[in-house]
Homo-oligomer: A and B are copies of this chain.
């Protein structure tokens, strides 16, 4: 020990410096009263409260989180679990979650699951481990069965970007289909007919819904989807690059427009085109989805995804549940917005 009273060696922790007992002794009040002050109970006289606070200040008291959590059965913490950390927009969603969490004096425990088994295990641990008061799950790939069971746990749970099937859960998602339909309609209104679509990975919720939106728009305009113009991608930029490159290498004719179901793939397409001296929108119109930062800089027409809104809405729902709102299934669907930029502006038209 040194003069400051703290052990400065390695990672060794000694017992907590100051406890309610210390404050109790110092102030001459009981631990119960100290606790009451800590919890802003109205049953303490201003004068005693002042005494306690003074003692706390003098001793440099900070309440022990684990002890409080154990006794109160609440942690004032919301858990947020994301799928593999490179899953794109986690940071935007997290910003949204945090905004509402901090407004409600809630802390955040953030975890990233790398694979399906880990996801399920993490969810279990958080649900039943008393580490958090509630859980927000982003786009996880867990079985419906597991989700249904988890929905019965005492810890409330909100799902982002993943349907809940028949589990009695609050879910938050964006209107992928409407967004895609709007973008596709935009291209059709521009007079384009031979429109290629680059989809995301098979079975991805977002990709599937966006594709449905495309079909819907084509149907309404009486345009039949051409199987040749349905390209498969992975949501990564290089898959857009690959798709475009191999199409051109095969000597096939440019479509009139290309709709990549997310921005990175659209940007990959753009690179492949640029490399060959082809120009957007002069030679081909291009649309993406999500409105990532780069889309703005590149002048890419795209559909804006309400990522922060998803986070905020999910967290809002969690807070309400924690405040006692009845647990009934509810699906929040946030709107997207078409952002028209250079990549679909017709050059010479009057």
A90 at the interface (CB under 8 A from B): yes
**Cα of A85 to Cα of B311 in the assembled complex, Å:** 14
A66-B66, A297-B297 in contact; A6/B111 too (CB < 8 A)? no
Contact B98 A128 (CB under 8 A): no
Interface: A323 (CB within 8 A): yes
Interface residues of A in 1-53 (CB under 8 A from B): 4, 6-18
Using Cβ atoms and an 8 Å threshold, which residues of chain B touch A8? 152, 168, 327
Bound together, the chains give a CA A261 to CA B236 distance in angstroms of: 29
Across the interface, do A95 and B102 meet the contact criterion of CB distance under 8 Å?
Answer: no
Question: What is the count of identical protomers in the complex?
Answer: 2
Q: Which residue of B lies closest to A15 (CB)?
A: B73
Contact: B129 with A62, CB < 8 Å?
Answer: yes
A321 touches B10 (CB 8 A): yes
Asked if A341 is at the interface (CB within 8 A of a chain B CB), the reply is no
Of B16, B108, B327, the residue contacting A9 (CB under 8 A) is B327
List residues of chain B with CB within 8 A of the CB of A98: 85, 110, 112
By a CB distance below 8 angstroms, the chain B residues around A65 are 66, 69, 129-131
A interface residues with partner B (beta carbon < 8 Å): 4, 6-18, 60, 62-67, 69-70, 73-75, 77, 85-86, 90-91, 94-95, 98-99, 102, 107-112, 114, 124-125, 127-131, 133-134, 152-156, 168, 267, 270-271, 292-294, 297-298, 321-327
